[in-house]
Amino acid sequence: MDKEKLVEKNRNRSVPLFECDYNLFDHHLEFYTALGFEIIYYQKAPYRFASVIKEGIGEFGFYGNKNFKENGNRGGCYIYVPNIQEVFADLKSNLKAYYGKIPSKGIPRISRINKTAEDWRVNITDPGENTIIIGETFGDSTTLMEAEDERVRELESKFEKAYAAAYRLAYSKEDFLAARNTLEVAFHKFTAGLNSDMLFKAKVLQAEVFASLGQKKQAKGAIREANEIQLTENEKVQLYSFYERLREINEDINTN
């Protein structure tokens, strides 16, 4: 190894190590190569271990656990990037080229770009159920989350509080079942006097949650109900990003 490569190898960096199923080790690596990672180390004995790397994201290591199904550990990490839109477009293009579609639900999967109180982020769940979060932050996460918690506490509308909780469950934690249940209670109990724009945003979120759970019929119903909500032209302009998300959800349902 030449001096320049050795310097790069020894620069200050972290390499997350994840467990995966020993018997599905190569299938696990296949998903990362589909994302566009390059395998830079691979061994089958005396134990299964491999490393993958992708410019702009970093390096991950994997080792096979023969008892993964019984007592395997699921891990995760957060990767900071300055260009989340470009990174996501690249990952999505690679997956589309490899699989012929974007795996957006089930295991493995990749989310859309989601906006949280802290960042723009993409969640990747690999075949071993490890979670890779790739995000472009808005600033100090502790400060931002404290401000968001304070904003939610000050909300007077029980519906808006439920929407905020469901939004966080879906996009920050990917707990779609809890998000679905939270929204169902909100729609059942707290819609009296609700503004149309808030109702529209909640229906878009509900459609995405249903789609993420593979409940196509319910997702289509939520999309239809969202499109039936009467909004002013000014509200439609302000909710442009939500209309775009609704369009993406509808395309995903009809193509996957």
The reply to whether 150 falls in a domain is no
Are 116 and 179 in the same domain? no
Domain range enclosing 110 = 11-134
Are 126 and 45 in the same domain? yes
Q: Which residues pair with 17 in a beta bridge?
A: 61
The reply to whether 219 falls in a domain is yes
Considering only 41-55, 70-84, 108-122, which range has the smallest mean pLDDT? 70-84
Q: How confident is the model at residue 10 (pLDDT cuts 50, 70, 90)?
A: low
The reply to whether 1 falls in a domain is no
Q: Which residues contact 14 (CB under 8 A, 6 or more apart)?
A: 58
The reply to whether 148 falls in a domain is no
The widest CA-to-CA distance across the chain, in whole angstroms, is 69
Is residue 230 predicted with pLDDT exceeding 90? yes
The dihedral region occupied by 204, where left means phi > 0, alpha psi between -120 and 50, and beta the remainder, is alpha
Q: Which ranges constitute the DSSP H helices of 100-175?
A: 141-153, 158-171
- Helices 158-171 and 196-212, axial angle in degrees (round to 10): 30
Calpha distance 69→20 (Å, rounded)? 9
Q: What is the pLDDT of residues 97-113, one digit of tens each?
A: 999 999 988 899 999 99
The reply to whether 173 falls in a domain is yes
Q: How confident is the model at residue 193 (pLDDT cuts 50, 70, 90)?
A: confident
- Give residue 252's pLDDT: 86
